[in-house]
Structure 1
Amino acid sequence: MSTHLKIYRRQRRGLFAAVALALVAGCTACSPLYVVRAGIAEIGILRARQPIHEILNDTTVDPDTRSKLAYVVDARRFAAENLGIDVGDSYTMFTQLDRDTLAMVVTAAWPDRLVPKTWWFPIVGHVPYKGHFSLQSALEEEASLANEGYDTWIRPTSAFSTLGWFNDPVLSTALKTDEVEVVTTVIHELAHQHLFLPGQVEFNESFATFVGRAGAARYFCTREGSGPQSIKCQRALARWRDSQVFSNYLDDLVKRLEAVYDDPELTPEQKATDRLPIIASGLQEFDEQVAPALESLTFASFRHENVNNATLLSYIRYYKRLLDFNALLKSHEGDLAQALSDIKERVRDASDAFDVIPHTRPLESSTKAVPRD
């Protein structure tokens, strides 16, 4: 079922370079016009870059922009010095865009299975989304996919990573949030440079969510950030806990849906029908049990969206097994740098990186609060 503009929600998560990388070797499912448009847009972003240190000293730039860019600089330093991430030259530059959204991301999935449609790009492999710098182009692609029978969803993105292939700038679209989200976004995107596994999008994005949220909490709860008693520390911790609660809720809902989708005695049409009451009860559970337990507004827009397989997969992509990542972090006594090093070593030769992340005991229910560290 087609999504609509009213359900868009601004996700500050990375859109891998279905833009610059398309220029390198092309996209097997992309038209020449798409590649040209993406290339022109990416070139424009790169050509408009300005060194952040110059902007910080420019008093004609508005104070809010300069203040948040100062957090970008410090978050980048924190990621390098405290988390052991090779930050390269990324996020030392800034690009002011003439729009509120970087790109629109189209995702799709069949209504009888939690399997995304994928597009192939060089370097990153198969990815379950396709970015468009034009809303009209995204809507046209969504309509075409819906006509083929796919569940679809369009969402905006305000940041992306080229995995170190280019000097990624901070975009003005990524600064339209508070300081906690700005730092979370920077660390999230830098996490992709620390660890990226081609073709394993769910692991890559969930790992980056873990690093971004846990990293931001550690940054703001130290004296380097704002201190353990600060509002920013409490906000960062609350959003990290909420991410784990939401992840647990999604994991449970997915298990119930997969029981239907994996039933060999059901036809595709029956599966598409039988999923509906499961999704409905899952949304009721969210309203009555999950939402009241959340401490922040991070997931406030979830119920304003047309929840289907494409929507769910988009969320699963970023919030899969976060409790397990946190349990591994606790096994390193909260040392995030050690946890990142351990994870990188564990997944080195894994065909499915999640297989080497130990399972922890799930929360007793989706509503049970994550223990406060």
Structure 2
Amino acid sequence: MSTPTPPLPRWADLILLPIINLFAAFFICGLIVLAIGENPIEAMGVMIKGAFVYSGGLGYTLFYTTNYIFTGLAVALAFHCMMFNIGGEGQALIGGLGAALASFGIGLYLPAPLAIPLAVLGAFIAGGIWGVIPGYLQAKRGSHIVITTIMFNFLAASLMVYLLAGPMLEAGQQSPQTAKLAESTLLPKMADILSPLGFDIASTPLNASFLIALGAMAVFYVLVWHTRLGFNIRSVGQNQEAAHYAGINVARTIIITMAISGGFAGLLATNEILGFNHKVVLNFTAGYGFTGIAVALMGRNHPIGIFLAALLFGALTQGGGELDFEFQSITREMVLLIQGMIILFSGALAYMFNPPLARMIAKFVAPKDPANG
């Protein structure tokens, strides 16, 4: 009879295992880079410099990180309720629509201190509405959340194509996009915010939505672990029947969870629409909603882990551009390969190293024999 695998300590599951998975993904990618005739160490150095060292690199990295934080939080909240929200793309698209409608509707009549919060709220509410419908179908009709959220991605994309190529198309414009949003609803760049404080940083797309993302992480933490609703969400995620017998309204909890999850995804529009493009353009989500799944998995559904995972993917996105520029044989597709490997080892193969790691830790942290004191 085989010896049962000892349980993996929580600290190892949260910290050590993700690091091992990350190094495994980079090792496989390094072999591929080596196979095409390039030096993987040199390539890694270029990527790190492009993401953190070169002028403006950190700003771009944090800009991409902001998007991954929002979608990672959206996926993670649903995970805590044991739901797989794959609808981040659609919820972010509709969040952009909500931000635009709020900007065009109220931005012309209010000053920035009032207009900006309302535009941000518009993005959150619109994304939440797009998330609450699959939540209702799951809670009340038994429809699988994976299927409905995927379908709603296509519905959101089709709706945005119709609106941006028709009713919301900027006059005299051929590309599917809206007119520029009201000036009072646009988020300031971080360079402009920090300049009066004496910090002279390069001008990049990084804007105040990064601060909104940090605030969303704090709200996520308080909500999940320090509120009654958070307790209900985690209880439903652990065992719906037990939660029901404990007096928790399971259906309502599922619906509320998906509403907030969709709202987090909708906040991506604050970065891309209110902070960068200053207008709604087609496909501004650029796959962030799907990558958010990997961010949540790698971050173990905790805001600190999500931030670190989002920073990693942000660095890969920015540093990948430098790889494409510096090396002829390394293209953007190679960066997608690296991201795919990280997703593979953080998702499908997340616990491949669990048994050997647990046995190795058990040897060094073996429980003391009570007989021997």
TM > 0.5 between the two? no
- Comparing both chains, which one has the higher relative contact order based on Cα–Cα distances under 8 Å and sequence gaps of 6 or more? 2
Give the TM-score category using the shorter length: under 0.3
TM normalised by structure 1 equals 0.24
Instruction: Compare the two structures and name the one with the higher strand fraction.
Output: 1
TM normalised by structure 2 equals 0.24
